[in-house]
Structure 1
Amino acid sequence: MLRRSMLHAMSGFAALAALPPAFGQNVRRRLTFSWPTNAGPLHPHLYSPNQMYAQSMLYEPLVRYVEGGKILPALATAWEMEEDGRAWRFTLRPGVRFTDGTPFDAAAAVANVNAVLGNRARHAWLELVNQIDGAEAIDPGTVRLRLKGPYYPALLELALPRPLRFVSPAALRPDGSIAAPVGTGPWVLAETAHGQHDRFRRNEQYWGEKPVLEEVLVRVLGDSNARALALESGEIDLTYGTDQLDADTFRRFAADPRFTTAISPPIGTRMLALNSARFPTDELAVREAIAQGIDRAALVRHILLDTEPAAETLFARNFPYTDLGLRAPAFDRAAATARLDAAGWRLPAGGRVRSKGGKELALDLCFIGADALQKAIGEAVQGDLARIGIAVRLVGEDASTYYGRQRSGEFGMIFGDSWGAPYDPHAFMSSMRAPSHADYQAQRGLPMKSEIDRRIGAVLSITEEARRAEEYRWLLTTLHEQAVYFPVSFFTNKVVHRPALGRVPFGDMRTDIPFDRIGRG
């Protein structure tokens, strides 16, 4: 983690002693944050408009994920694999209650799992939901999860912010809806004002270490400029996230001695997918020339302003099974040009675009038109590839049309992000088998696509660690060598706050904001 230390900043809330007493008391009591939208109805099993950071404040999983793929206890204190991976037995944490006073026990856990399974089609994107055969209460403190077959990422997917988290059975209706957002987590939702704010209060009966803060007020601020102004004026205390501030604004705060800034380790990958089933990127030599012809370092330096590290691989090395020593080809315009020459792509005298067999070397780069960052990266890529004789047409469209292209494969290159921890690599790669995903469409023309899909399916059921690692090595090396992705950078979470707030840690998942740990030593 990169952190710029303030010269006279003191750790924790000791710094508050230097502030006026009223201000210090206010910071102890309430932190003001901002988010583009309201938190939503906060159903733990459902998706938009529910905001994941807020779902994680109220609802807890059986187990939790920490960076690097390690699994630690949460609502379960112990677990064991049974029947060669076809079942998992969990020992539940004793004495835990929902904020309405209802005990968290095996019956409550089973009721929540059954509610998710009752809406199985809605959750089909998550392979664990497809694999669960059922749940049973062995006794009040033990629950057993039966699977259709071995599925090694079961614990990883139980740690996700949704859908397998737990609401009070007293609030869970027969149709799967909830009467109120009642969890076991360190926070409770106290108030929602539509378009204005959400107010969270500390759960005073929380089973674990209680937050230092008593209250988190989340103001609704729709754009990064408004967020930056609110931070400068003191209307909010903290910004946190991947894109809550643009890179230039973050750099400005990093140079301002009134603020502390920090950048997390990599939490996912920003990339371009190249369509192996569509002319002209159906040719490996063209994809390899693109990989050599784009100046990745310049994109990171001039557009991302060094707020994200350059990415040479599909996943960062701090994810499970991904530290394989793979390297991207170095930016080399002369080598890219020679590669295209050798493949028969000729640049006519006085011309700017190569051609072969009467067809020009031209392709579409699709992006969301309202996304200024994608547009800026796209323009830089367009300029780089023009210098080696590849014409790039920038196609900026509304989000619905853009996602339609991802599903249909109507693109030459298209922007994409990996899903981050704990989805990477297993869940992101599992989705590569679905025709509705851009990754499937991008890989569809590869001669070994069927083998890639078969091996992805196989690796998910391998319970032997060494065999699993070898399968991932083959998969990630093959995709790397086929140049079907151009990784741009590893995106990061970024935090800005005043030093008096003390230590602001990063969550282990992209979507988690650890308000409960702010102010601790």
Structure 2
Amino acid sequence: MKHLLLTACVVALAGPALAKTDITLGMQLEPPSLDPTGEAAAAVDEVLYANVMEGLTRIASDGSIQPALARAWDVSADGLEYTFLLKDGVTFHDGTTFEASDVVFSLDRARAEDSTNAQKALFAGIESVEALNDMVVRITLSAPNGNFPFNLGWGDAVIVAPESVDTIATNPIGTGPFKFEEWRQGDQISIVKNPDYWGAPVALDRAVFKFISDPTAAFAAMMTGDVDAFPVFPAPENLAQFEVDPRFRVIVGSTEGETILSTNNMQPPFDDVRVRQALAHAIDRQAIIDGAMFGYGTPIGTHFAPHNPAYVDLTALSSYDPDRARALLAEAGFADGFTTTLKLPPPSYARRGGEIIAAQLREVGIETEISNLEWAQWLEQVFRGRDYGLTIVSHTEPMDIGIYARDDYYFQYQSEDFKAIMESLNLATDPAERTAILQQAQEHIARDYVNGYLFQLAKTGVADARIRGLWANAPTQANDLTGVSWEE
């Protein structure tokens, strides 16, 4: 009897097992800095978006626009004035108060002439930003823009404070449910729960983002438990092995990542549309998807996500046809082919896809000099320096077809007709009209063969089977941990 009573007491004292409150996530790329308002790399938002930094609006897991630091907003009848009512009682992680003046500072900084914001065009239509009082901001546009609340949900539009902006690249101060803790460069970034968060508290006390660029090392880290989840797992060939292991859950979804063979349109011979068209016909998309992504990916023929209702399937315009590619090259004066550079960033889709594409281009007479670059090198040489012939990259920003209207964007496409299409889109508010314009835009760049359109990147994630709340799809560049918890 005494033994039975003692056992019962021990069980009662032990109670149910407590759920874990920390998590380690694997990421293939490390952010070059921690300033989402001045850095183009998606990895910045993958750490900070919704976790540490917040905007007036936010993009939810289903792609919808939700209130964030703005609790509500009104739009004038002419579509030119947006009045945002701000959340009260919000503080930045350094204890300073969030108020309308911070919104004015952030948006004026983003749209300033000397702004280094990678998506500065998002703010080009803003004519003025005014604080009507501490909790109300009025933004006046130069022309109606039905996409404006969505634009404010991008990571590039998060709100920062003048008191802390000078050190944002290494010590980001936001208003989110997590606070930045530490960055061990070359290894990991950690964030911790913000006890003073204005909204619903998160379940996790701490999160670590560990940077593992090598696919083999990523597999080993998952198997040994060094990381709990890899939201975008870099070795799709291993997914089948995880699927049959009850310790893990494979999460396959969609992304906004249009993966392209990006072409320097101002560099000869790519300034000739016939050469760009030849490139497109030399590429076997399905062979790249099968060989580099083990079947994960959806072929695309333009810069637009197939899951978007406005998508048009234009893959037939650039169907795999090596004979047509050779004929076009001969017509353009390159019957004997030519040599160009192929500069590849670290992701496996680029490195593996690059080898396949190089072989396909060789079949039609185009030789490529492959350079494998680290992410910071790629940003400096290709994205900022435009020193390349070809590259492969996945554009993971949401609804970003508007980049083709920027003369100075890294693939250097210049088309007054396309700019006019984008201007008409900004003025349109009727959903059917906007769909028609978006479809016109897709077809325009497809027929100009601006880039080689390869596939829509699938979101292939692996996680400990006990984790709940990770995003299956990626409507924006984020590892949003606000709803993540461990099963008890």
8 Å Cα contact 2:52/2:174 also seen in 1:
yes
- Number of the residue aligned with 1:324: 312
1:369/1:469 Cα in 2 relative to 1: closer, same or farther (>3 Å)?
A: closer
Q: Deviations over 1:416-452 (max 9, x none)?
A: 433431x5223x2333x32x52151xxx5xxxx3322
Q: Secondary structure, in 3 states, of the residue corresponding to 2:405?
A: helix
1:360 aligns with 2:336: yes
8 Å Cα contact 2:292/2:352 also seen in 1:
yes
> 1:474: how far off?
2.3
- Number of the residue aligned with 1:313: 302
Runs of 5+ in structure 2 lacking a partner? 1-13
1:94 aligns with 2:88: yes
**What is the 5 A alignment of 1:24-63?**
25=18, 27-35=19-27, 42-43=34-35, 45-47=37-39, 51-56=44-49, 57-63=51-57
1:396/1:265 Cα in 2 relative to 1: closer, same or farther (>3 Å)?
A: same
CA distance in 1: counterparts of 2:214 and 2:64, whole angstroms:
35
Q: Deviations over 1:102-144 (max 9, x none)?
A: 4433234334334545674323741133333332222333111
> 1:60: how far off?
1.0
Q: Secondary structure, in 3 states, of the residue corresponding to 1:270?
A: strand
- Number of the residue aligned with 1:417: 394
> 1:309: how far off?
2.4
In the superposition, the TM-score normalised over structure 2's length comes to 0.80
Q: Deviations over 1:160-213 (max 9, x none)?
A: 112x322456x436x686996442211122344455543322223333332222
CA distance in 1: counterparts of 2:203 and 2:453, whole angstroms:
40
Residue type matched to 2:256 in 1?
I
1:264 aligns with 2:253: yes
Residue type matched to 1:96 in 2?
V
Q: Secondary structure, in 3 states, of the residue corresponding to 2:323?
A: helix
8 Å Cα contact 2:192/2:205 also seen in 1:
yes
Q: Secondary structure, in 3 states, of the residue corresponding to 1:201?
A: strand
CA distance in 2: counterparts of 1:110 and 1:219, whole angstroms:
35
- Number of the residue aligned with 1:380: 356
- Number of the residue aligned with 1:429: 404
CA distance in 1: counterparts of 2:229 and 2:432, whole angstroms:
43
CA distance in 2: counterparts of 1:500 and 1:119, whole angstroms:
48
> 1:63: how far off?
0.8
Residue type matched to 1:213 in 2?
L
CA RMSD in angstroms, aligned pairs only: 3.9
8 Å Cα contact 2:25/2:209 also seen in 1:
yes
CA distance in 1: counterparts of 2:392 and 2:482, whole angstroms:
34
- Number of the residue aligned with 2:290: 301
More divergent stretch after superposition (492-501 vs 399-408):
399-408
CA distance in 1: counterparts of 2:129 and 2:412, whole angstroms:
33
Match 2:437 to one of 456, 459, 471: 471
8 Å Cα contact 1:363/1:412 also seen in 2:
no
1:70 aligns with 2:64: yes
Q: Deviations over 1:241-264 (max 9, x none)?
A: 3xx523334444344443211122
- Number of the residue aligned with 1:484: 450
1:190 aligns with 2:167: no
> 1:78: how far off?
1.7
Q: Secondary structure, in 3 states, of the residue corresponding to 2:106?
A: helix
1:223/1:96 Cα in 2 relative to 1: closer, same or farther (>3 Å)?
A: same
1:290/1:107 Cα in 2 relative to 1: closer, same or farther (>3 Å)?
A: closer
Identity across the alignment (%): 20
CA distance in 2: counterparts of 1:198 and 1:29, whole angstroms:
17
1:406/1:176 Cα in 2 relative to 1: closer, same or farther (>3 Å)?
A: closer
CA distance in 1: counterparts of 2:15 and 2:235, whole angstroms:
32
8 Å Cα contact 2:26/2:230 also seen in 1:
yes
Q: Deviations over 1:285-333 (max 9, x none)?
A: 665555444322122112210122222332113347x423434358564
Q: Deviations over 1:194-247 (max 9, x none)?
A: 555433222233333322222213345454433322221112211123xx5233
1:84/1:233 Cα in 2 relative to 1: closer, same or farther (>3 Å)?
A: same
Match 2:159 to one of 143, 166, 171: 166
Residue type matched to 1:212 in 2?
A
- Number of the residue aligned with 2:323: 337
Alignment size in residue pairs: 469
1:212/1:451 Cα in 2 relative to 1: closer, same or farther (>3 Å)?
A: same
8 Å Cα contact 1:106/1:137 also seen in 2:
yes
CA distance in 2: counterparts of 1:363 and 1:302, whole angstroms:
24
1:83/1:304 Cα in 2 relative to 1: closer, same or farther (>3 Å)?
A: same
CA distance in 2: counterparts of 1:402 and 1:193, whole angstroms:
21
Match 1:438 to one of 369, 393, 411: 411
- Number of the residue aligned with 1:145: 139
In the superposition, the TM-score normalised over structure 1's length comes to 0.75
Q: Secondary structure, in 3 states, of the residue corresponding to 2:222?
A: helix
1:344/1:438 Cα in 2 relative to 1: closer, same or farther (>3 Å)?
A: closer
Residue type matched to 1:206 in 2?
Y
- Number of the residue aligned with 1:454: 420
- Number of the residue aligned with 1:239: 230
Q: Secondary structure, in 3 states, of the residue corresponding to 2:155?
A: coil
8 Å Cα contact 1:30/1:213 also seen in 2:
yes
CA distance in 1: counterparts of 2:152 and 2:299, whole angstroms:
31
Q: Secondary structure, in 3 states, of the residue corresponding to 1:121?
A: coil
